Amino acid sequence: MSPDVTEPAPQESVPRRLCVVGLGNPGPRYAATRHNIGFLVIDRLADMLHVRESSFHVNHHLADVVYHDWKVYLCKPWTYMNLSGEAVAVLMDRQGLRPGELLVVYDEVQLPLGHIRLRRRGSDGGHNGLASVLAHTGTTDVPRLRCGVDFSSGSADLVDYVLSPFPEEEISHADAMIDRAAKAVLAVIDDGFDKAMNTYNTPPTKLQE
């Protein structure tokens, strides 16, 4: 007679998580400005993932969706840019997120318009929104996606430049970059971070633009 064997209870698989945090400024005054690229990428991702509703939590808007076997959060901090880290801190505490489960999306004046860069970690590079996020997470090991808005000419005040909308001749290029950035986020999930970097950290082709 064989001894009784208790089969272990099957464990539910825990989906992997990615929280995409788009940086920007709240309100219609800033909606279409270069500094709000992060918000615009979140909106494009919401369209791609068929997300129609979000909810407000303390100081940020948040939506979530299951994509493949991932739980994907889409977040817009509803603080001003320089206080973005306050919203991220609340978000991480409420959702139990780790810094490595974030992907922060923001504008980058040191990249040409249309170019994007994925990085796993690094300094804030002079971006006040990212600086706030790094200060509140207490680490520079925060994945990020930089979206180029090109300040190479230096012909205008930097603050006025990033808080201005794209001129008409740049709108189509900006829209293509927003689309490419959203696809890069999905590629992080589909293909892994390293492959997504290899694919999207290269300059866009004319066809992609």
Residue 14 has a pLDDT of 60
Residue 205 pLDDT grade (very low, low, confident, very high; cuts 50, 70, 90):
confident
Average of pLDDT values for 131-139? Answer: 98
d(CA 116, CA 102): 17
d(CA 94, CA 113): 35
Report, as residue numbers or ranges, the catalytic residues.
Answer: 35
Name the percent of the chain lying above pLDDT 70: 89
| pLDDT of 204 above 90 | no
Residue 13 pLDDT grade (very low, low, confident, very high; cuts 50, 70, 90):
low
| pLDDT of 201 above 80 | yes
| pLDDT of 56 above 50 | yes
pTM: 0.90
Average of pLDDT values for 95-124? Answer: 97
Residue range 68-106, pLDDT digits in tens: 999 999 999 999 999 999 999 999 999 999 999 999 999
Q: Could you tell me the residue ranges of all domains in the chain? A: 16-200
CATH class of 16-200: alpha beta
